[in-house]
Amino acid sequence: MLVSLLSYNGYTQNPKVYITDRVGENYAYVNVTKTYERVAEKGYKSIDLFQKLGNAFYTDLNMAKAAKWYGELFAMTTDLDPIYYNQYAKSLCAIGEDEKADYIMEKLKQKSNTISNK
């Protein structure tokens, strides 16, 4: 079941709770974001996991946690779509880390210039 949760690639407006299976007469509900967060805090690392966590907390406007998970994402790779640079920078600004946000946006500009010069 854990593998199926980690491989879930769909995005919805409310990525937090999904009906997973019937248990007796009731449905079992899984808070996917909390499950992903527990998995990450136990040491599992993947680009996909950190993208999903960052996006979930960014969407919920929990910028401290969004910055934390985007930070983990950027520690693994910087070969990311521009949206991740933008959302990471915005979440950093929201928690008062303006210098780090400026650094991330500068990296995005450098990446954009490299791509446009090819």
* Rounded (to 5) percent helix, strand, coil in the chain: 65, 10, 25
Residue 31: pLDDT above 70? yes
Rounded (5°) CA angle 92-98-105: 75
Q: What pLDDT, on a 0 to 100 scale, did the predictor assign at position 59?
A: 94
Q: pLDDT class for 41, splitting at 50, 70, 90? A: very high
What pLDDT digit, counting tens, does each position of 53-74 carry? Answer: 999 999 999 999 999 999 999 9
Joined tokens for residue 47: 């680009």
Contact 76, 45 (CB under 8 A): yes
How long a stretch of residues is the chain? 118
> Are the C-beta atoms of residues 6 and 33 closer than 8 Å to each other?
no
Distance in angstroms (rounded) separating the CA atoms of residues 2 and 101: 34
Residue 112 pLDDT class (50, 70, 90 cuts) = confident
